[in-house]
Amino acid sequence: MPYTQSVRVAFCTMLMACAIGCGSSNSGPGGASGTCTAAVGRCPLGCAPGIGCVQCVSDADCAQGRNGKVCVTAIGRCGECANASDCAAGESCDPAQQVCVSACTTNAQCMRDAPHCDPEQKVCVACRNNADCGGTRPFCSPVTASCAECASNADCGVANPACNIISGECVQCLVDAECPDTSACGNDRRCHPRCTSNASCRDEAPVCAPDGACVACLANADCRPGAPLCSAEGRCEQCLTNADCSVAQPICDKKNQCVQCTSDAECKSPDAPRCRDNVCADCKEDRDCKDPALPRCRKDTCSP
């Protein structure tokens, strides 16, 4: 079925699993458990199977604007949009990036990395069903409409049994419930013995958090230049919001890195209107080149 139909099934399944997998009977908006202990961080807003710690459970949690001001509850992340109603006329919501993009009506309007126009949402996507995928990423994610290693835990093996529905990758754990009782799920998505002091933690996660998880930090003072900010998930990051970034690279992306852009809408110069690999460029494909004298897109520049 198209991703726009199957996403509802997948998300409902995730919500039912959260009441069991997160270890709490108190679930908040988006299925996040308010008292969940997932050592991928301290999870102040809870966690959910298939996601781990969530960044938001409502739009209020996205007020600072990192990645957008809308809480996309299906993935527990802030974005520019959750669906087309969050976008302007003539636009739709890209489910892979959660940003508003030009709406489509035919595949001919789509780019190489997202070649299929979804007829229901009128947005270009990487896949509509598994038939559009293959190789090491044979499943069409019902959440992001991208080809993935897995779409659910059932697609993963014994060594890495948890499906991260955001990245589409199989990992050892996303929440503590997926680890043995004496272990916690670490920032590396693997199970580690619970700590009792910093001395029992490893170099890459040297701080013992109150819940027995080894994390990179509990405060900014635990971090170093280059990644000076401690996130709510216990990771040292370059940025947490756009305000942490410079004028030259004003956008804090989903990897907590300051970049020039994550979508075309963030490229304001008419000379570089397309976002490619987080850099504003003249073009992505030949169709972007409108000058008959410069019809070819070569190395992100319209050329003869």
Q: What string of DSSP letters covers 232-298?
A: TTS-EES-SSGGGS-SSS-EE-TTS-EES-SSGGG---TTS-EEETTEEES-SSGGG---TTS-EEE
Query: Can you read off the two tokens belonging to residue 23?
Result: 């270890």
Q: Residue 259's pLDDT is what?
A: 95
Query: Can you read off the two tokens belonging to residue 296?
Result: 């070819």
Map out the domains of the chain as residue ranges. 3-259, 267-303
Question: Using CA atoms, how far apart are residues 26 and 28, in angstroms rounded to an integer?
Answer: 7
Least confident of 8-22, 65-79, 146-160, 268-282: 8-22
Q: Residue 242's pLDDT is what?
A: 86
Under the banding of pLDDT at 50, 70 and 90, the label for residue 132 is very high
Query: How are the residues of the chain apportioned to helix, strand and coil, as percentages rounded to the nearest 5?
Result: 20, 25, 55
Under the banding of pLDDT at 50, 70 and 90, the label for residue 4 is very low
Three-class DSSP category at 171: strand
Q: Does 23 have pLDDT greater than 50?
A: no
Range ranked top by mean pLDDT from 17-31, 95-109, 176-190: 95-109
Question: Using CA atoms, how far apart are residues 124 and 245, in angstroms rounded to an integer?
Answer: 30
Query: Mean pLDDT in the chain?
Result: 83
Cross-strand bridge partners of residue 214: 208
Find the mean pLDDT for residues 279-300: 89
- Using an 8 Å Cβ cutoff, are 234 and 213 in contact? yes
Half-sphere exposure in the Cβ direction for 52 (13 Å, CA):
26
- Using an 8 Å Cβ cutoff, are 191 and 177 in contact? no
Instruction: Give 294: exposed, middle or buried? Use CB within 10 Å, 0-12, 13-18, 19+.
Output: middle
How many Cβ atoms sit within 10 Å of the Cβ of residue 123?
A: 27
| Nearest C-alpha neighbor of 212 from the set 191, 229, 237, 236 | 191
Q: Does 14 have pLDDT greater than 50?
A: no
Side chain identity, residue 210:
P
